[in-house]
Amino acid sequence: MKVRSRHNEVLELLAAYLRLPFAADSIPGAFTEKVLAHVYDAEVLGTYDFADVISHRERVGWQVKSTKASTPVTWKRAKIPDRDHLVKASLSGSSAALQALGDAVIEFCNDHARESLKAYSLDEIRYSRVITHEDRICYFEKTLVTSKNPQLFDPGSFTWKWSTPKMVTKKEQLTSLHGIGPDGTKWFAAHLLGENQLHFSGEGSWWPRRFGDANSAEIRLSDLGDSIAWDELIRWLGSI
């Protein structure tokens, strides 16, 4: 008998959400955290730590992200020490100052992960990722950092540049700091002249080349069955 993996169990529970009559076309991150905690007998932290869910028994944490396939992942607000000085220096045209600012962004990300490893005495933190496509839902887990190898990103693998401002709805969009990753594509967009949002598009390199291996699963939306009718849901809720 084939044993159902935890990844398949997580995905099946997540997919059931889309059958609810009030469901949107993607699965909320908060719901994903609850499902993950249920499957692993873990705890949802409800904080802004790098780890969103932790298992004290297994000494494992998960950072949870759930978006449509085309939606960039938001890390969180990048609170860079001495940001104003670093930004001003980087805008002067100095390549060294530009790299120093980018290195500070990377170190912010690395520190964020290390803090959760230490705070919750974890052996590892995994990436728990739900990707909603037009025709299917994919799920995978990937180990990002461990207590023995706590560095998430190597600063030397990135180069940095300020983007060209562009017009959006008759307003000029503020320039952002772009981090170019080891594959030559944009991995980060740090909006350091605005509200400090840090967008992470490089996570696409973490996606499995093929879903359905030992650490991932996928299900086609056509296999989910019909949505649950409102009156059926209300009757069920009234019976419990």
Task: Give me the DSSP letters along 31-60.
Answer: HHHHHHHHHHT-EE--SSSS-SEEETTTTE
Count of CB atoms within 10 A of residue 29's CB? 15
Query: Taking the mean position of all CA atoms in its chain, how far away is CA 204?
Result: 10
Burial environment of residue 70 by CB neighbours within 10 A (0 to 12, 13 to 18, 19 or more): exposed
The overall pTM is greater than 0.75: yes
Supply the pLDDT for residue 185: 94
Supply the pLDDT for residue 78: 86
Supply the pLDDT for residue 2: 40
- Tokens 């990002």: give the residue: 144
The end-to-end CA distance of the chain, in Å, is 34
Q: Which residues of the chain have pLDDT under 70?
A: 1-4, 21-23, 167-173, 224-230, 232-238
Supply the pLDDT for residue 3: 39
Supply the pLDDT for residue 174: 80
| 165 token code pair | 């401002």
Identify any residues that bridge with 161 across adjacent strands, giving them in sequence order: 178
Q: Is the dihedral of CA 130, 134, 136, 142 positive or negative?
A: negative
